[in-house]
Structure 1
Amino acid sequence: MSWIVTGGAGYIGAHVVRALASAGMTPVVLDDLSSGVAPFVPEGVPFVRGSILDRALVEKALRDHDAEGVIHVAGYKYAGVSVQRPLHTYAQNVEGTRIILEAMEAAGVSNIVFSSSAAVFGTPDVALVVEDTAKKPASPYGESKLIGEWLLRDQAIATADSAHPLRHTSLRYFNVVGSADPTVYDVSPHNLFPIVFEALLEGRTPKIFGDDYDTEDGTNVRDYVHVGDIAAAHVAAAQRLADGRPIETAYNLGSGDGLSVTQIMDAVARVTGIDFTPEIGPRRPGDPDRIVATGELAARDLDWTMRYTVDEMVRTGWEARKAASL
């Protein structure tokens, strides 16, 4: 039996695929390559090219590959841009998730791990976010991820007495960085690490978007978590679902303390050896001041832990991006 990884040719999805294979599970990639990269799919891993909005294709992939479950990573992940493209964001993230659940029900597939986001919390009024902290998304992206969680909840209730009751969990995280494989790197034009790395490679000065947030140094504070740790948590969740063990409906994959954009910039300069003073630009819409989550529940159930220091996060991401330029 296999696990279908939607978005498996993307930065996070490709790491999940490798982690599944390392755990002795059988990954199958489903990706339309709208933001994924075909060479990120490892040799020998089945690759279904197509959109999660294609209901027939999703169901066929589930049936053809005898799927045990889905790890749903695909989606439109840009909070700031979602403010300008709300309809596109909802189509990809809400309708896409609905179609996957519909295809799963038709194919008799009952396990799903959903890549959600800490963006469901918006700008929380607590220092440390826990799973039941109030959900107040600050962007269409965050709203779409919260609706995705609702869809899973409602489908689980609806199928509770069926032959294949839905078992699910949602993993919430924010800034995923670094690399656990030198052939896979973050290609997003909107994420902090690739923006900074591209600027340095092109001889430009990196930019900070806003330094007037309500934080200690005026720049956003976030959970920065290594992609290798994120991938391992997805696999642990899939294993727990497959084994029929109890599982929470949602887990925060948080660092517990967070880092500011300025602290990240300092680490980049330190690790790369390139001395620079960031330029200050305007805020990006939809970006909250601070969001830091605890990972205690995930540590209990999914072996979640922060295995990388900030310098190691920068180093692995920088080395993978430089390797891609060779």
Structure 2
Amino acid sequence: MTWLVTGGAGYIGSHVVRAFEDVGLDVVVIDDLSSGHREFVPGAVPFVHGDLLDTGLVEGTIREHGVTGVVHVAGFKYAGVSVSRPLHTYEQNVTATVSLLRAMAANDVDKLVFSSSAAVYGTPRTDLVTEDSPVAPESPYGESKLVGEWLLRDMQRAAGLQYTALRYFNVVGSGTPELCDTSPHNLFPLVISALVEGRTPTINGDDYDTPDGTCVRDYVHVSDLAVSHVAAARRLAAGEPLAPVYNLGSGTGLSVREIMDAMVRGTGIDFQPEVRARRPGDPDRIVASGGLAAQDLDWAMRHTVDQMVRSAWEARRASRD
């Protein structure tokens, strides 16, 4: 059985590819390299440089490599930027998913693991988000991910698609120094880049209704996330039932201040972050329960915050050597 990993040259996708290799499952990667890196894909893994909007290319890849299931990680993942680029966001996250599903249907591929987002919840009404919490996305990015979930639901009804969608918040760390998060928007690379360049990291607001005044969020290690993608794929391949959505959450969360303190410990660079004004719309706390995924998808928080920071720091330093 061969699995197609879309976006497999990206930060999360490349870890998913390695997790498949670790259990002896064959994979092939499609990536347009708009944010991914060719060198992130292991040399033995077939790589197709192309856009999911090219349905013919996707169909050809599926046929050539005997693909029987898909892990759909590719997408435009910047919620803040999506507000100013809604059309691009919908094209990359919705239209591209339609193209992928069309190619799958044309080749009788009926198994899909979808990389969704906890952004579908918007600002939760409760401190702990579960799969039953109301969805109310507040950005084109969150909306596009929710539409993606609807597309899968509708294809299940229409054509028997077997799928599950995995929702998560902040993905951090590295499973190997060869792979690092190069996003210009995520907290870990922003802090690490500031330290590498001799600048002072910043905190946006310290007057929230939380124990230390800074926002509390889920931070999950990318390797833990990858394991659950593979677990979902294997259950689909075995014909075992899965819920339509799972939260890959910590259940407890970490504050931005706690992340900064861990950065001091993990990097060995002593600093005091600069506190700036709040960003509009940032909730005090958003944390998801991972209980359901722990039952079905081998989900667990296997890494401490210090391990998350150290692995991210080591990967960033390796990328500069």
Tell me the TM-score normalised to structure 1 length: 0.96
Q: Aligned runs of 1:1-326 on 2, under 5 Å?
A: 1-159=1-159, 165-284=160-279, 287-326=282-321
Compute the displacement of 1:79 (Å): 1.0
Deviations 1:62-119 (A, max 9, x none): 1111111110000111111111111111111111111111111011100000000111
Compute the displacement of 1:215 (Å): 3.2
Residue 113 of structure 2 aligns to a residue in which SS? strand
Q: Residue type of the partner of 1:322?
A: R
Deviations 1:154-213 (A, max 9, x none): 110011xxxxx2100000001000011110000100000000111101111111233344
Deviations 1:125-180 (A, max 9, x none): 11111101000112111111111111100110011xxxxx2100000001000011
CA contact (8 A) 1:178 1:226 kept: yes
Q: Distance in 2 between matches of 1:27 and 1:133?
A: 34
Q: Distance in 2 between matches of 1:102 and 1:284?
A: 39
Q: Distance in 1 between matches of 2:288 and 2:162?
A: 24
Q: Distance in 2 between matches of 1:282 and 1:139?
A: 21
Compute the displacement of 1:60 (Å): 1.1
Q: Residue type of the partner of 2:136?
A: K
Change (3 A) 1:242 1:61: same
Residue 112 of structure 2 aligns to a residue in which SS? strand
CA contact (8 A) 1:225 1:306 kept: yes
Residue 63 of structure 2 aligns to a residue in which SS? helix
CA contact (8 A) 1:83 1:285 kept: no
Compute the displacement of 1:55 (Å): 1.0
Q: Distance in 2 between matches of 1:72 and 1:282?
A: 36
Q: Distance in 2 between matches of 1:282 and 1:8?
A: 36
Q: Distance in 1 between matches of 2:56 and 2:95?
A: 14
Q: Distance in 2 between matches of 1:51 and 1:215?
A: 43
Q: Residue type of the partner of 2:142?
A: G
Residue 28 of structure 1 aligns to a residue in which SS? strand
Change (3 A) 1:156 1:37: same
Q: Distance in 2 between matches of 1:218 and 1:53?
A: 44
Q: Distance in 1 between matches of 2:279 and 2:38?
A: 30
CA contact (8 A) 1:80 1:284 kept: no
Percent identity of paired positions between Structure 1 and Structure 2: 66
Q: Distance in 1 between matches of 2:108 and 2:229?
A: 21
Compute the displacement of 1:214 (Å): 4.1
Structure 2 gaps of 5+ residues are: none
Q: Distance in 1 between matches of 2:62 and 2:210?
A: 46
| Number of corresponding residues | 321
Q: Residue type of the partner of 1:27?
A: V
What do you get for the CA RMSD once the two structures are aligned? 1.2
CA contact (8 A) 1:79 1:287 kept: no
Residue 302 of structure 2 aligns to a residue in which SS? coil
Compute the displacement of 1:280 (Å): 2.6
Tell me the TM-score normalised to structure 2 length: 0.97
Compute the displacement of 1:287 (Å): 4.3
Q: Which moved more, 1:270-279 or 1:197-206?
A: 270-279
